[in-house]
Amino acid sequence: MARTLAPHPDRLFPADPGVRELARRIYQEIREAPIISPHGHVDVATLADDEPFTDPATLFITPDHYVTRLLHAGGVPLDKLGVGRAALSEEDSRGVWRILCERWALFRGTPVRYWLESELAEIFGVTEQPDAANADAIYDTIAGCLRRPEFRPRALFRRFGIDVLATTDDPCDDLAAHRRLAGDPSWQGRVVPTFRPDRYLEPGRAGWRAAVDRLGEVTGIDTGDYAGYVRALEERRRYFHEHGAVSADHSHPDVRTDPLDPAQAARVYAAARAGTATEAEATAFRRHMLLEMARMSTEDGLVMTLHPGIRRGHHTPTSAAYGPDTGHDIPLRMEFTDALRPLLERFGTHPNLTLVLFTVDETTYSREIAPLAGFYPAVFIGAPWWFLDAPDAIRRFRGAVTETAGYGKLAGFVDDTRAFCSIPARHDMARRLDARVLAELVAEHRLDEDEAIETARDLVGAQPMRVFRL
Amino acid sequence: MARTLAPHPDRLFPADPGVRELARRIYQEIREAPIISPHGHVDVATLADDEPFTDPATLFITPDHYVTRLLHAGGVPLDKLGVGRAALSEEDSRGVWRILCERWALFRGTPVRYWLESELAEIFGVTEQPDAANADAIYDTIAGCLRRPEFRPRALFRRFGIDVLATTDDPCDDLAAHRRLAGDPSWQGRVVPTFRPDRYLEPGRAGWRAAVDRLGEVTGIDTGDYAGYVRALEERRRYFHEHGAVSADHSHPDVRTDPLDPAQAARVYAAARAGTATEAEATAFRRHMLLEMARMSTEDGLVMTLHPGIRRGHHTPTSAAYGPDTGHDIPLRMEFTDALRPLLERFGTHPNLTLVLFTVDETTYSREIAPLAGFYPAVFIGAPWWFLDAPDAIRRFRGAVTETAGYGKLAGFVDDTRAFCSIPARHDMARRLDARVLAELVAEHRLDEDEAIETARDLVGAQPMRVFRL
Amino acid sequence: MARTLAPHPDRLFPADPGVRELARRIYQEIREAPIISPHGHVDVATLADDEPFTDPATLFITPDHYVTRLLHAGGVPLDKLGVGRAALSEEDSRGVWRILCERWALFRGTPVRYWLESELAEIFGVTEQPDAANADAIYDTIAGCLRRPEFRPRALFRRFGIDVLATTDDPCDDLAAHRRLAGDPSWQGRVVPTFRPDRYLEPGRAGWRAAVDRLGEVTGIDTGDYAGYVRALEERRRYFHEHGAVSADHSHPDVRTDPLDPAQAARVYAAARAGTATEAEATAFRRHMLLEMARMSTEDGLVMTLHPGIRRGHHTPTSAAYGPDTGHDIPLRMEFTDALRPLLERFGTHPNLTLVLFTVDETTYSREIAPLAGFYPAVFIGAPWWFLDAPDAIRRFRGAVTETAGYGKLAGFVDDTRAFCSIPARHDMARRLDARVLAELVAEHRLDEDEAIETARDLVGAQPMRVFRL
C-alpha cells in the first residue's frame, strides 16, 4: 500500500492551536500574492522556446543538484542518474525516475522532499508518495501531463503566478532569447537577465584569458589593457541594463574588496594576460574588481548581490566526469566585517548602491550581516541561501537577523533555483514560514497582528520590488 | 487611528498555556526584585547633578546608537537625528522625535521597539504606538513629564528600584561626581565607578602617548618608563577601588594574553613612547597588558570583565563627522580557547580572580566560553551582549551555555546601556526570559518548579552580587 | 525535606499536549530496543574481571570528568574529589560523595544532572534528590546495592540491554582482556575493541619515539624506517580487526589530510625519530598519516571515526598534578571543507570507506559536515559529541544537519562515555529526543507518523549497525 501524498493545508505551521490559527490568518493574506523571483537560474530559452518539457527525470532529477547529490550520498553513482548526458531515452528516464521513487526515504526531513511533494501533488495531481511499486504509474501520470499544452513552460509560468523572474547570464551573452521573449506579442510576463561576471573577474581561474578576449570581441573594445577591460565590463553592464537587468551577481570564495591603485591593477592585468601573474596577484585583482563592481553599481544602478564562500567542485574526479554544479560545492567559513570594509567605507552610504548579502555560513548572520545591514543604508539581507533554504534553517535565519536589523532590511525571498517547477513550492514554503515567525511574535505580544500582516505583505511584494529596483 | 500601546502582561512568555502559566509563576517571584546593574554606561553626572532631562529626542534618540543606527540604516542621515550636536533646540528635538515616530515600523521585531514601548507606556503613560499623526502629542506628553520633579534622574532611579548601578570611567577621572553623589546626605543609592583602561593599554591607538603622560600627571608617578607605567595603573586601580569600584572592564579586538618578559615589555613601552614601535609590537604589548590586568585583579580584587571583538568605527567618514559610538561598531569573529590560555594557566584557579566573559560572536558560547567556565573556578559567563541582548538571542544564549556550565556560572544580567530610562525595561525583559527558559525546563521535567524559582531568584540577586563582589 | 527524585515518564518531550502524545507514541516503539554502543571508553577489564564496583564515589564521580569539572568550576579542588588517586578509602569516598550531594544545585540544567538522576533512580532505586542531609543515606543505599551480584558489571550489562559495546584501545594493547571476555563461555555479550592510534601518529607529542619503538616490538616489524612503521600500523589494524574491531578512531587538533610524497614522509619520519623534526614537519607528518589511515580503512574495512578539534590539557598545572582527561580539554574552532578535501578527493566515493565525522564546533554542522555527508557516499554524521551531548544541543544538531543530509546519513547515537552506569540514561535521552524531533516534524506535517516511527527505529538499530559494519 502506497502512502498517501496530500500536502496538509497547515504544513509548517506551529503545533500550538492558538499560534497555528494566527499563522493561518497571516498566511491567508499572502498565499495568493504574485511571485517576485529576483534571482534564479531558470534558462530563459525554456520560456522563449516554450517547448514541452521532455520527461519526468529531466524535469525533476538530472539537472537538479539538490536531488542528485542526496541520491549520490545514498550510494547511487551520478551516471545512473543521467548526469552529464545530453538527453535521456524514455527507458533511461524511467530508470532514473525509478531510482528516485525507490530511495524516497533518503529525502525525509529535507526541503527537497517538501518541494517535490508539493510539485507532484499540486502541479501534476499525484496522490501517492513515490515508492518502488508506483514508480512507473507516477512516471506515466507526469509524462501524460507534459504532453498537454497547459504544462508547457509559459502556461506554467502563468499558472504559478510569477510576476517577475530573473535569470542569470554570462556578460557576453547577447540576450537574444531574452529579446525574443520580450518581443513576442503573445507573451505578457516579465523575465529579466542578471549580469554574472565571476569568470571575467578571476584571473586565477582556467579560461579567464579567453573570456576577456571574448569580452573584447563582443564589445568591440580592446581588452588588451586594463582600461579597455574596465570599459568593456561597463559596456556589458549597460547592455544588460538596457535589456532589463536590475542586478549584478557575484560569487567568489571570499568578499574582500581591498583596492589596488590603478597602476597596480593595470600591471597585474597585463601579467595575468601574459600568464605570469602569481596566485596572490590574481586574488588581489579579483578583490579589487569586486570593489570596482560596486563602483559601477553606484553609476549604473544595478543592484549588487553577493553569493560568496563556496568551494566549487570539491571532488575533482566528479567535476572532470560530469562538469560543474553536480552537488559537491561545499561551503566555506566566511568573514564580512573586515572584508567589505573598503567597499562600505566608499559606498556604504551612497544613495545609488544596493548591496544584498547572502551567505551559507550561518555564523555571520547575527555577528556580521545583521550589524552591517543595521547601519549601512546600502546593505540588505538576502534570504537564506542554498543549504539554508529549508524550514528550520529559515527560522534560525529570522531569529538571527531581525532582532538586530529589523524587517525593513530583509530583501525578501529568493528561490535561486534551476528547477522551474519548484518555484511556487519554494515561495509557498517561505510564505508559510514568514507567517509562522510573525505569528509567534504576535503570540508572544511582540507585534500586533495587523502589523504582522502588513510586514508579511511587504516581504512578498513591496520589499523585494523596492530592494531589487523592480 | 493610532495603534494602541499597552505592553501585555504576558509578553515574551511562551504561547503554550501550561508553560505560560509556569512562566508567570516564576516571573512573579522576581519581577519586583531590586535591580543590580554591575556594568553600564550611564553618566554619573546625571545623578550627581539631578538636573531634569532636557527633551524627548535627547532622552530617547540622539545619544543612543541602538536607535540612531536603525534609523540611519533606514535612510535617515545622522545629522537629521542631531547626532554629534551639543544640544537640540525644541524645534530640532521635535523634528528628531517626529522622524522616530514616522519610521516606527523600522523597529518591528527589534528589542529597541520592545524597550521603547515599555518606557513610553510604563514611565510616561503613553497609550498609543507612535506614528506620524501623534508624534507631537506624544512629544508633549513626555516633555510635560520631564518638567515634573518625579521625572528627575534621582527620582527615576528610586522608582526603577535600582540597588546598585555601575558606571564606566576613564582611569584618570578624579571621580569627583561619584564622590559628590556618594557624599550627598539626601542620596541613598549606590553608584560605583568601573575602571576602563583600554586606551592606556593600546600603544597602537591614536592618543596613547598623551594618555600615559596624563596618567603620570594624575598619579604623580613617572610614566616615562614601563615600571612607572605599571605602578601608575596599579595606583589608579587602587584609587577606583577606594571609590567603590568593583570591576575593571576591557574591550580590545581580541583577548590574546601572551606574556612579554619584563625586559621586552620595557623595551616596547619605550619604543611606543618614542613613536617607533611597530604595529606588531603595539599589539603584543596590548596583549601582555591584558595579562597584567589579570595579575592586578588577583591582587586588588577588581573583577575583570572582557567585552572584546568589535571593529570600532567601521565607517571612517561617519567617525570623522560624528565621533565614536555612532552605530557602526561591527562584531568580529572571536577565539577564546587559545587566546586566554596564558592568563588561565596562571590565574584560572586563583582564588582572587573573577573573570567575566562577554562576546558578540555566538559561536563561542558552546564551543569556548561555556567549556572554559565549566572548568575554571575564576571564569563566569556574562549576559548576552550588545547585538545579542534581544529575546531570541538571549534564548539561544541560554540554550548554548547552561547545559555545559550550569546556572551557577552565569554572572546574571547586565544592561550595559547609556539609555537611563531603558534600564528597567531591559532588566524586565531579562527576567521574563529567565522565567520562560526555566518554565520550559520545568515543563519538560528537567527541573522542579521550586528549583526553577530558586534559580531565578539567584540570577537576579545573589549571583550578580557574589560574582561582582557587591 | 528532601526533594523527590522521580524521573518523569514524559521528560524531554515537548509541552504541547498533541506533540507530546505523538512523541510518546514514537518513543514507545524504540524505548526497549537493544543498545548499540559503537564508540565509548568503558574499560573492558570491568567486564572481563566482573569485580563488584568498589564504591559510589569511584562509580559516579572521581573518574568522570563531566562530573568533576563542574564541581571544580564551582570551587572544589580536584584533590578533594579524589582525582588522580588510585583508590578511595570508605571515608574518602563518603567525603567525595557528600561534596556532590551538597553541590547538587551546580548541576541544574546540565545533562549530568539528568543522567545522574536516571542512574540513581532507575538503577539504584534512590527516591530523593541528593542534598547535604541525605548524602550518607544515599551513599549507603548505593554501597549496599554494589555488594549484591545483580549490580556486578556483567549483570548490569545484561540489565542495560546492551547488544554491542565498543571500547577504545591502544594499538599496542594485546587485547588479552577482550580475548578473555570473548572466550568466557558464561558470557554472551559482544564487546569489541577500537583502534585508536593518535599517539603513534603525532611525532610532535611527548613519548612518540618510545611509542613507535614499542610498535616495532609488538609487531616484530622494524619501525626504524617509515616503510616498517606503516607496515606495523597495518599489522596492528589487522590484529584489531581479527579481534572484532570495526572502527579506528582519530582525535587530532585538526583534520587536515595533505599528503606528503613517500620520500618526504620517509625523511620526516627519520628526522622525527632522530628528534630533529621541526614542529611544522611533525604537523605535516600527522596530517599525512591521517590520510594514510583512510587509505588503510579502504583496505581493511575499519570504519574511520574522527573526533577532532580539542585543545587537550588546557590548564598545564592541572595536567601535571592529575594527568589527562581531568576536565580542561577545551574545544577549538574547526574547518572540514578544505582540510578533508585531499582525503575525499581520493576516497570519498570509495565503496569500502566509511568516515564518521564528529565535532565540538557546532558551526560546522550546517556549513561543512552536512554538505559533505550530503554528497559523499563515504561520509556519515556522528552524534553530537562531548559538550554537545545534551538535550538543547542535540536538538540544534538535528535542526542543523538533517535538512541538508537527510536522516539516512546519521550514524546513530554514540554515548562515548567512561561512566558505565550512564550508558542506558544516555541512550534513553537520545531516544527521547529522536522521538521529540520526529514528533515535531509529524506535527508540522513534514513527515507521516509511520515514516517517523520507521526512521526512529532505524536510528537506534539498523543504521548504526550498518554504518559501523556490525
Tell me, what amino acid is at B324? P
Nearest residue of C to residue A13 by CA position? C444
Given CB atoms, is B21 within the 8 Å cutoff of chain C?
Answer: no
Q: Which residues of B touch A443 (CB under 8 A)?
A: 15
* pLDDT given for residue C114 in this prediction: 96
* pLDDT given for residue A318 in this prediction: 98
DSSP string, B376-411: -TTEEEPPP-GGG-SHHHHHHHHHHHHHHH-STTB-
For an interface test with B, give the residue of A347, A404, A409, A447 to mutate (most B CBs within 10 A).
A404
Three-state SS for B194-211 is CECCHHHHCCCCCCHHHH
Nearest residue of C to residue B16 by CA position? C16
Q: Which residues of B touch C11 (CB under 8 A)?
A: 444-446
For an interface test with A, give the residue of B310, B330, B386 to mutate (most A CBs within 10 A).
B330
Cβ within 8 Å, pair C363-A10 = no
Nearest residue of B to residue C315 by CA position? B345
Local confidence band at C102 (pLDDT 50, 70, 90 cut-offs): very high
Cβ within 8 Å, pair A444-B328 = no
Question: Average pLDDT over chain A, rounded to whole?
Answer: 97
Given CB atoms, is A11 within the 8 Å cutoff of chain C?
Answer: yes
Q: Which residues of C touch A106 (CB under 8 A)?
A: 406, 408
| Cell numbers standing for residue B11 | 509578553
Instruction: Return the ∠ at Cα C113 (arms to C399 and C434), rounded to 5°.
Output: 30
Cβ within 8 Å, pair C14-B409 = no
Superfamily of chain region A154-467? Metal-dependent hydrolases (3.20.20.140)
* pLDDT given for residue B386 in this prediction: 95
* pLDDT given for residue B1 in this prediction: 80
CATH number of A53-148: 1.10.2020.10
B464 in the Ramachandran plot: left (φ > 0), alpha (ψ -120 to 50) or beta?
alpha
Tell me, what amino acid is at A431? R
CB C271 within 8 A of CB C277: yes
Nearest to C109 among B363, B376, B403 (CB): B403
H/E element, A160: helix A153-160
* pLDDT given for residue A202 in this prediction: 98
Local confidence band at A417 (pLDDT 50, 70, 90 cut-offs): very high
Cβ within 8 Å, pair C363-A362 = yes
Local confidence band at A332 (pLDDT 50, 70, 90 cut-offs): very high
CATH 3.20.20.140 domain residues, chain B: 154-467
Q: Which residues of B touch C81 (CB under 8 A)?
A: none
Cβ within 8 Å, pair B11-A445 = yes
Identify the chains in contact with C, defined as 3+ C-beta pairs within 8 A: A, B
| Burial class (CB within 10 angstroms; exposed 0-12, middle 13-18, buried 19+) of C9 | exposed
* pLDDT given for residue A172 in this prediction: 98
Cβ within 8 Å, pair A345-B105 = no
Given CB atoms, is B159 within the 8 Å cutoff of chain A?
Answer: no
Given CB atoms, is B193 within the 8 Å cutoff of chain A?
Answer: no
Given CB atoms, is B203 within the 8 Å cutoff of chain C?
Answer: no
CATH 1.10.2020.10 domain residues, chain A: 53-148
Nearest to C387 among B371, B379, B399 (CB): B371
Q: What is the pLDDT of residues A18-43, one digit of tens each?
A: 999 999 999 999 999 999 999 999 99
Cβ within 8 Å, pair B451-C105 = yes
**Is the pLDDT at C131 greater than 90, yes or no?**
yes
For an interface test with A, give the residue of C254, C444, C467 to mutate (most A CBs within 10 A).
C444
State how far the Cα of C224 lies from the Cα of C212, in Å rounded to an integer: 9
Nearest to C330 among B371, B440, B451 (CB): B371
Q: Which residues of A touch C368 (CB under 8 A)?
A: 330-331
Given CB atoms, is A249 within the 8 Å cutoff of chain C?
Answer: no
DSSP string, C354-418: -EEE--S-THHIIIIIHHHHTT-TTEEEPPP-GGG-SHHHHHHHHHHHHHHH-STTB-------S
Question: Average pLDDT over chain C, rounded to whole?
Answer: 97
Q: What is the pLDDT of residues C181-215, one digit of tens each?
A: 999 999 999 999 999 999 999 999 999 999 999 99
B166 in the Ramachandran plot: left (φ > 0), alpha (ψ -120 to 50) or beta?
beta
* pLDDT given for residue A1 in this prediction: 80
Instruction: Return the ∠ at Cα B294 (arms to B291 and B298), rounded to 5°.
Output: 145
Q: What is the pLDDT along chain B (470 residues), one digit of tens a residue?
A: 889 999 999 999 999 999 999 999 999 999 999 999 999 999 999 999 999 999 999 999 999 999 999 999 999 999 999 998 889 999 999 999 999 999 999 999 999 999 999 999 999 999 999 999 999 999 999 999 999 999 999 999 999 999 999 999 999 999 999 999 999 999 999 999 999 999 999 999 999 999 999 999 999 999 999 999 999 999 999 999 999 999 999 999 999 999 999 999 999 999 999 999 999 999 999 999 999 999 999 999 999 999 999 999 999 999 999 999 999 999 999 999 999 999 999 999 999 999 999 999 999 999 999 999 999 999 999 999 999 999 999 999 999 999 999 999 999 999 999 999 999 999 999 999 999 999 999 999 999 999 999 999 999 999 999 999 99
Q: Which of residues 139-158 of B touch C (CB under 8 A)?
A: none
Q: What is the pLDDT of residues A217-252, one digit of tens each?
A: 999 999 999 999 999 999 999 999 999 999 999 999
| Burial class (CB within 10 angstroms; exposed 0-12, middle 13-18, buried 19+) of B235 | middle
Cβ within 8 Å, pair A446-B109 = yes
Given CB atoms, is A18 within the 8 Å cutoff of chain C?
Answer: no
Q: What is the pLDDT of residues A243-265, one digit of tens each?
A: 999 999 999 999 999 999 999 99
As assigned by CATH, the class of the B53-151 domain is mainly alpha
Given CB atoms, is B456 within the 8 Å cutoff of chain C?
Answer: no
In A252-307, DSSP assigns E strands to 303-306
Q: Which residues of A touch C463 (CB under 8 A)?
A: none
State how far the Cα of B447 lies from the Cα of A339, in Å rounded to an integer: 45
Three-class DSSP category at B162: strand
Given CB atoms, is B308 within the 8 Å cutoff of chain A?
Answer: no
Contact residues for B197 (Cβ-Cβ < 8 A; gap 6+): B171, B233, B236, B248, B250, B293
CATH number of C52-151: 1.10.2020.10
**Is the pLDDT at C470 greater than 90, yes or no?**
yes
Q: What is the ipTM of this complex?
A: 0.97
Cβ within 8 Å, pair B448-C393 = no
Adjacent-strand bridge partners of A162? A35
| Cell numbers standing for residue C420 | 558505565
Given CB atoms, is C391 within the 8 Å cutoff of chain B?
Answer: yes
Cβ within 8 Å, pair B370-C387 = yes
Q: Give rounded-to-5 percent helix, strand, coil for chain A.
A: 55, 5, 40
Between B and C, how many CB-CB pairs are < 8 A?
140
For an interface test with B, give the residue of A446, A454, A457 to mutate (most B CBs within 10 A).
A446
Percent of chain A scored above 90 by pLDDT? Answer: 99
For an interface test with B, give the residue of A257, A367, A466 to mutate (most B CBs within 10 A).
A367
* pLDDT given for residue C90 in this prediction: 96
Residue A287 phi, psi dihedral angles, 5° rounding: -70, -40
Cβ within 8 Å, pair B7-A445 = yes
| Cell numbers standing for residue C319 | 595536567
* pLDDT given for residue C86 in this prediction: 82
Identify the chains in contact with A, defined as 3+ C-beta pairs within 8 A: B, C
Q: Which of residues 316-335 of A touch B (CB under 8 A)?
A: 335
State how far the Cα of C26 lies from the Cα of C22, in Å rounded to an integer: 6
CB A265 within 8 A of CB A277: no
Cβ within 8 Å, pair B328-A366 = no
| Cell numbers standing for residue A167 | 535569470
How distant, in Å, are the alpha carbons of C43, C121, C190, C424 from that of C421?
13, 12, 17, 7
Q: What is the pLDDT of residues C441-456, one digit of tens each?
A: 999 999 999 999 999 9
* pLDDT given for residue A220 in this prediction: 98
Cβ within 8 Å, pair B3-A404 = no
